[in-house]
Structures are given as structure tokens and as C-alpha cells.
Amino acid sequence: AQRVTQPEKLLSVFKGAPVELKCNYSYSGSPELFWYVQYSRQRLQLLLRHISRESIKGFTADLNKGETSFHLKKPFAQEEDSAMYYCALSALQYSSASKIIFGSGTRLSIRP
Amino acid sequence: EAGVAQSPRYKIIEKRQSVAFWCNPISGHATLYWYQQILGQGPKLLIQFQNNGVVDDSQLPKDRFSAERLKGVDSTLKIQPAKLEDSAVYLCASSPRTSGYNEQFFGPGTRLTVL
């Protein structure tokens, strides 16, 4: 079964502290994984995808196939990082565009 | 470019009533998705269209939910009759391609409250 698990509903850290949002997945094929973010009063938007291997707004995420994890990390949290973060898995469909399975989300709160 | 548009933004109805939501995707986007997001949960795919055909509706409660995408552009999602557990945010998303992975662009959502 395809599943994405985010064990923390809320993560609260001080400004300047490191951040790690956990994500584990279950998927029988070769996964494509993403992090989506929703800032207050804004739309859900793509933050980063594992195939790009890029850093966006200081965030990085490494796919660990052995541990089936895709944790989101940032070395120094900023107040503007406060938002809802969703880990997501793309399930490829050979005859059509992929569909996405979302985790339940983690609310990140950065304290000043 | 203009983003995905949805209306209404908020809707309050009583159980057993009917409701419809409208979505206008980004121009030229072939694939359109409807998601249901219940409070405290991540978005759950209800139905996926490719142009005006249904690709995946396996999680759509077909006894009460229906959706269509006429002419492969705008889409409507209807609930008839509504139940209390249908209270949620309904998100529409679109993506440009019809195969493989491609980024999904989300609308602002419609918040439905069923009393």
C-alpha cells in the first residue's frame, strides 16, 4: 500500500535552531517524493522534490531508501518558516499524469 | 500567469442539502485534480481528470459525490446529499502534463461546513 507518515503534528523550535521534519513512506515502486508547504492564508505550494536535489529557502531533504524516509531539514530556522508542511509521494501511472499521496502534515512554529 | 481559481471560498449548508463547487484550472493544463482535506489531515485525492476524461475516481464516494469536466477546462464537484462528515476544505489542482510526474498547482480551496 502507498502511504506517507508524518509522526509529528506540531514542531516548535526557537529561531536559529536546527529543524527536522520527519517523513516516512511506504511504496512498492521507485518513489518520487516531495515537500509541500502552506503558509498562513496562502495556497498549498511545492517546496522541493527529491529528484532536484536542490535547497529551497535553506531547506534540504534526502531520500533514504533503506529507511524509507525523506526528512526535511534546515540548519537555522527563521520566523518566516512557520507554516504547515506536507510530505508527499508521487505514484506514477503509466497512462496518465501521476497522482500524489499526502501525509497528514506537520505544523512548524518558530519561536522568536 | 493566473492561478487556479475556485468558488465559492466558503459554504455552509445543512445536512441532506446539495452543494456544488467550481474550479477553473490554469490555462492549458490538461490534468485536473479534486482533493478533500479534512481538518487535521492531509489532502486526499477524490478524482483526477485528464482533459475531460476520468483517470482515477477510486476514492470518490459515488453514491453522493459527482464531478465533471466539460470541454476539458472548468470542473464542478457536487455533493448530493451532504453529510456531516463532508465538512472539509475541497481543493482543486491542475498540472500541465498528461504523463509522468509534473508539479501540481493548487487553488485556494472551498471550505464546506455541514450543519
- pLDDT of B99 reads 66
- pLDDT of A55 reads 85
- pLDDT of A111 reads 95
Strands (E) in A15-82, as ranges, are: 19-21, 24-26, 32-38, 45-49, 60-61, 72-74
User: Where residue A50 falls among pLDDT bands split at 50, 70, 90?
Assistant: confident
Give the mean pLDDT of A66-80: 95
pLDDT at A90 > cutoff 80: yes
Residue type, B26: I
Other beta carbons less than 10 A from residue A74's beta carbon = 21
Strand B105-106 vs strand B110-114: parallel, antiparallel, or unpaired?
Answer: unpaired
B31 in reach of chain A (CB within 8 A)? yes
Give the mean pLDDT of B40-57: 91
For chain B, what percent of residues have pLDDT higher than 70?
95
User: Where residue A28 falls among pLDDT bands split at 50, 70, 90?
Assistant: confident
Residue A98, min C-alpha distance to chain B (Å): 5
Other beta carbons less than 10 A from residue B37's beta carbon = 20
- pLDDT of B80 reads 96
Helices (H), B1-115: none
Interface test with chain A among B35, B59, B99, by most A beta carbons within 10 Å: B99
Residue type, B58: S
Q: Which H/E stretch holds residue B10? A: strand B10-13
pLDDT at A97 > cutoff 70: no
- pLDDT of A99 reads 78
- pLDDT of B66 reads 97
- pLDDT of A96 reads 63
Rounded Cα–Cα distance for residues B34 and B20 (Å):
13
CATH domain B5-98 topology: Immunoglobulin-like (2.60.40)
Closest Cβ–Cβ partner in A44, A95, A96 for B91:
A44
Domain ranges in chain B?
5-98
Give the mean pLDDT of B16-40: 95
Q: Could you read off the pLDDT of B51-100 as tens digits, one per residue?
A: 888 988 989 999 999 999 988 899 999 999 999 999 999 999 999 876 66
> Average per-residue pLDDT in chain B?
92
Cell numbers describing residue A53: 536535489
Place of cell 522541493: A48
**Residues of A with CB below 8 A from B42's CB?**
4, 6, 86, 88, 102-105
pLDDT at A1 > cutoff 80: no
- pLDDT of B74 reads 95
User: Would you say domain A3-111 falls under CATH 2.60.40.10?
Assistant: yes
pLDDT at B1 > cutoff 90: no
- C-alpha distances in angstroms, B48 versus A53, A80, A92, B59, B77? 28, 33, 13, 10, 12
Place of cell 463547487: B21
User: Where residue A95 falls among pLDDT bands split at 50, 70, 90?
Assistant: low
- pLDDT of A71 reads 97
